[in-house]
Amino acid sequence: MKGVLVDITRCVGCGSCVVACKLYNNLPWSNAPHLGKDAVLTADNWTVVKEFDVSKGKESVWRFVKEQCFHCLEPACASACFAAAFRKTPEGPVIYNERVCVGCRYCMIACPFSIPKYEWQARFPRVQKCQMCFYRVKDGEMPACVSVCPAGALKFGDRDALLKEAKERIAQNPGRYVNHVYGEKEYGGTCWLYLSDVPFEQLGFRTHVSTESIPHVSERVTKWTLPVAGGWAAVLTALYLATKGSGGAEKSH
């Protein structure tokens, strides 16, 4: 199982990773900001680098957080999808098949990190999110974004080894990091792991979360399937009309 270790203390906010993702995945540039304080994940922004101005002790510091799909070990999106359009690969990436997807967007409801985004403006909308450069990872290459990071903030490898390294970095640099590897246990663990020197809750991470995976959450969700299914077309249409032209649907998260 592969993973990526993001060391927030090393990120300089250059945005190389964001451009790499756009280029590699042929994603269009949209008006939704991909860098800075207002950066937001959208159907076209599979990854963004978000700026947080926080205080660390007496110092005020800028921190940059690369956001993208966490690639959960037991992904809620996959368990919520009755069409099986999401699946977890043994290599790590959680991938999506647009041919199988029926557009119900249960994955979006199920994802504890609100990662999957919907192409609200497309004629045949897809759900979009970071695919962890599946074909690269499958061939043993690092994801596109990791390959360009000039500051050494991103490291690709076996998740177990990365987790070990993350803990070593914490142990060997006393005072540099908060004593937590985000993604080790959150929602049952994720392939993308984060190290930080300021508390994660100040950097937009969802903390105090369940450490169990959430198939039961998705079960609850699937129970709604039939009653909701009848109305979903109407809901979808309403949502589409409500957001059409605004381009801002994704921001409401």
Partner 1 sequence: MEVEKLLEEALKQKEVTRRTFLKMMAGLGLAGLAGSVGGCLRQHEVAAGGEGWLPYQYDVAGTWPAHVRGRVPIDPSNPSIMRDDRKCILCGQCLEICHRVQSVYGYYELPIRDDIVCINCGQCSLACPTGAIQERDDTEKVLKALKDPNKFVVVQTAPSIRVALGEEFGMPPGTWVTGKMVAALRRLGFHAVLDTNFAADLTIMEEATELIKRIKGELPGRPLPQFTSCSPGWVKFCEYFYPDLLPHVSSCKSPQQMFGATVKTYYAEKRGIDPRKIVSVSIMPCTAKKFEAQRPEMISARKYWEKKKGPDFAKDVTRDVDIVLTTRELAKLIKQAKIDFPRLPDEDFDPLMGKCTGGAIIFGASGGVMEAAIRTAYFFITGKEPPPQLLDLKPIRGLASVKEAAVDIPGAGTIRVAVCQGMAASRQVLDIVRAGKAPWHFVEFMACPGGCESGGGQPRSSVPQANEVRAKRTASLYAADARWVWRESHENPDILKVYQDFYGHPMSELAEELLHTHYTSRADKLKAIQPSEKEKPWEQYYPARLTPEI
The correct pick among 52, 134, 232, 240 for binding partner 1 (CB under 8 A) is 134
The correct pick among 108, 121, 138, 170 for binding partner 1 (CB under 8 A) is 138
- CA 25 to CA 39: how far, in whole Å? 19
Cβ contacts of 101 within 8 Å, gap of 6 or more: 81, 83, 85, 126, 127
Taking residues 11 to 50 in sequence order and writing x for each that binds partner 1 by CB under 8 A, - otherwise, the string is: -xxxxx-xxx-xxxxxx-x----xxx--------------
- Are 37 and 204 in contact by the 8 Å Cβ rule? The answer is no
| Secondary element (H or E) of residue 171 | helix 159-172
- CA 121 to CA 231: how far, in whole Å? 20
Tokens of 232: 């979903």
Stretch of 56-64, 161-169, 207-215, 243-251 lying at the interface with partner 1 (CB under 8 A): 56-64
Stretch of 112-120, 127-135, 159-167, 198-206 lying at the interface with ligand SF4 (CB under 6 A): 127-135
Stretch of 95-103, 156-164, 213-221, 230-238 lying at the interface with partner 1 (CB under 8 A): 95-103
- CA 79 to CA 81: how far, in whole Å? 6
The correct pick among 40, 87, 121, 188 for binding partner 1 (CB under 8 A) is 87
Choice between 35 and 83, CB closer to ligand SF4? 35
The correct pick among 41, 76, 111, 149 for binding ligand SF4 (CB under 6 A) is 149
